[in-house]
Amino acid sequence: MKRLIKSIGLILVFSFAFGFLCVGYAKITRDLNIEGQADYIPPIDVFIIDAEAPAGGVINGYVMSTLNSTVTLDNNSNSSARFLVTVYNNTGEEYGYNATKHPAGEETYTNVDIAYRLIKADSGEELAFKTPVASKSHLTFYVEFYYKDGVVPDDKTLNSILLFEFLPMSELPEDEEEVAVRGALDKFGEILNTPEDYKTLTDSMDAHAAGNTRSYIGNVIDAGDTDSLIVEGLFEGELTLNINGENKEMTTIIKRENIDGSTRTGDSYDYYNFWERTGCEMVLYMTDVDLSTVSAGTRVTVYAAVFTCQQSSGGIPTGQWYQIGELFKGTAQVVAYSGASGNGSFNTDTWRSETNRTIENMI
């Protein structure tokens, strides 16, 4: 079930430029009149046309479908604050709510003790996955911030950048669980095909080659600050999103191994500095399960996608990396990151599809 995934890279780049470099503030009214300095054209899909802050809140700006805001809650554990947001569907087809994403990094979501949920303004219900927005119509909802677990922290202020993603109904996955992997899958292709990002990824993986059967890197528990920061930095927020009001943190392992059996595809690397492994594809394994709460040896849902490219006779990748096969849903056993006893990670060697096939047999 290979998905046609709409890239949001340009939106995030523009959002960062807007939020951090303050390149003019453009407020778009319901009539699409632009006030103040504006240096972009309203997009053709679903975008914010109005946003209102509550007491204790400030709207720092909004552009396309991204909201930059600051909120300060009070000393009551039940304290909350609602920002009113209206989006407009400027297309000729029906769109649906997919997820809310926020870029990784302390500067883009500064207080993990404050959570948020989206609530439809007309019904008071949470904004559900696939909530429709008809062609040339509006959808108004609240972004409600509140204390996570009802505990008042020392820091009561949150600065955040949230991207509300709406996609054509025809592009939305049937299974809500799959939402958590779609953005990461699309972003992984970009990483592999961006020379600087590819070098950052492979240099980091090479550092593990001498100590592991296969070269890999992840942002799982106990992966260490170095590995986790590298992975999350490369994905630029595509590993964090909100589904139906619930934050999802993606646990990801990227593994380099020969999946298609060919030595003339993928890339190559030195194992133990004298044994070359050739024809290695890049496999992205992803789960939205909180592995810290799962006992070692338990099998959990893990998605897998395989990417490859052609290579020269010298083992150098040539051309574009591309996905082979589909996005596969399977399970893998929970282990510690190093493969030792414990939890917090998963063993990619134990990955099996829903029909009990290995990843090699799925391609």
pLDDT tens by residue, the chain, 363 residues? 333 333 334 343 334 333 433 333 233 322 333 333 333 444 559 999 999 999 999 999 999 999 999 999 999 999 999 999 999 999 999 999 988 887 655 678 888 889 899 999 999 999 988 999 999 999 999 999 999 888 899 999 999 999 999 999 988 876 666 666 777 888 899 999 999 999 999 988 887 655 554 578 998 877 766 788 899 889 887 887 665 556 677 889 999 989 999 888 998 887 665 677 888 999 999 998 888 889 999 999 999 999 999 887 776 778 799 999 888 999 999 998 876 678 889 999 999 998 999 999 988
Total Cβ atoms within 10 A of residue 267: 21
Residues 6 or more apart from 310 whose CB is under 8 A from it?
264, 265, 317, 318, 319
pLDDT of residue 41: 44
Cα(232)–Cα(274) distance, integer angstroms = 31
List the end-to-end C-alpha distance of the chain, in Å, as a whole number.
13
Q: What is residue 205's predicted lDDT score, i.e. its pLDDT?
A: 85
pLDDT of residue 31: 31
Q: How many whole angstroms separate alpha carbon 348 and alpha carbon 359?
A: 10
Residue 143 confidence (pLDDT): 96
Residue among 317, 306, 298 at smallest CA distance from 361 = 306
Answer for the pair 119, 125: CB distance below 8 angstroms, yes or no.
yes
Spell 187-223 as b/e; 16+ CB within 10 A means b: bbbbbbbeeebbeebbebbeeebeeeebbbbbbbbbb
3-state SS assignment for residue 77: coil
The confidence score (pLDDT) of residue 30 equals: 29
Helix spans in the chain (H) = 9-21, 179-192, 195-209, 224-235, 359-362
- Residue 176 is predicted with a pLDDT of 62
The pTM is what? 0.65
